[in-house]
Amino acid sequence: MTLVEARARTRASWVPKFVVLSAIWGASFALIKLAVDAGVASVWVALWRCAFGVLALTVVCAVRREALPRTRSIWGHAAVVALLVNAIPFTLFALAEQHISSVLAGLINATTPIMTMGFTILLVPGEPLTRRRVEGVLIGFAGVACLLGVWRGMDADTVGGIVVCLGATLCYGAGFAYTHRFLTKPGSSPAVLSLTQLLAATLELTLFAMLAGHVPTAPGWPGAVGLIVLGVFGTGYAFVLNMQVIASAGAAVASTITYVVPIWSTVLGAVLLSEAVRWNVVIGGIAVVTGIVVTRSRPALSEPDSGEDVSAFR
């Protein structure tokens, strides 16, 4: 077998999985919208997707015969990550989509890698603040301003929904940086760590729902199907696909899914939910993705960079 044939075969093994994974994560925002429109409270949207994700990853760990960790410190760090990456942002995105479209929520979610970079610089040793990274952040937030259409003015509900989404991506940024610093260890099973994290998130959300006096309501078939698919596939099975893409194509290629997810969330929101897509949304989304590309591009020889890549997807 020639080198060209070997590369073609390798590409054929991961490209379909990459496309399916990006579609699953891109569809998450439309699925959240289905559940929200069906009357499911935001905390229960988050709770159900974590619970169904636990079921999916439990099957994965059982098949692989991988046990949950017994170290108290791992559970403690997992609880922090669960709060920042699952419990709070899942609830916030569901809350935001009561006021804004899934298209807009999906595009704002694309700011997550920029948020992650900022917290990584603060929390992870050896991550410098370079000129290229500053430029990428500025381009990204200019894209957010374009997404919002700030020159037109916005009603209070829309502004509130957007601020809530940015709060969710801020949590993602802190959570992924914290994971990189404290939770991910050499030789640890990503599936086990993810299951541990989702178990902690499910317990946290259950406690919050009880304290807030929220009780589950019957969402009807569309909402129920949306929650099941969101949890099992978007929060569970997607992780398995992501591991397979990383194993076949490498982490650098897998991280580029950040650029594809907003395309799916925009297309699915427009086609399935008939949501409007204005020109500023398209241009703003492109600017956000461009900002991500700039922050992740290789620096000049005179500009230090650790080479670490911390990716965040939804």
| Interatomic CA distance for residues 189 and 69, integer angstroms | 10
How many Cβ atoms from other residues are within 10 Å of residue 134's Cβ? 12
For helices 102-109 and 3-37, what crossing angle results, to 10°?
130
Average pLDDT over residues 38-66: 93
pLDDT one-digit tens code per residue, 251-309: 656 666 777 888 888 888 988 888 888 877 788 878 877 877 787 665 544 444 433 34
Task: Report if residue 212 sits inside a domain.
Answer: yes
Task: Report if residue 45 sits inside a domain.
Answer: yes
* Token pair of 304 as six digits: 């230090």
pLDDT one-digit tens code per residue, 204-249: 999 999 888 777 777 888 889 999 999 999 988 887 787 778 777 7
Mean pLDDT score of the chain, rounded to an integer?
Answer: 81
Write down the residue that tokens 């989702």 correspond to: 198
Distances (CA, A) of 83 to 24, 90, 102: 23, 10, 23
Task: Report if residue 176 sits inside a domain.
Answer: yes
Task: Report if residue 309 sits inside a domain.
Answer: no
Domain that holds residue 227: 3-296
Domain count, the chain: 1
Task: Report if residue 22 sits inside a domain.
Answer: yes
Residues contacting 222, CB < 8 A, separation 6+: 34, 38
Task: Report if residue 186 sits inside a domain.
Answer: yes
Task: Report if residue 162 sits inside a domain.
Answer: yes
| Interatomic CA distance for residues 56 and 97, integer angstroms | 25
pLDDT one-digit tens code per residue, 149-197: 766 666 778 888 989 999 998 898 888 878 877 876 666 788 888 899 9
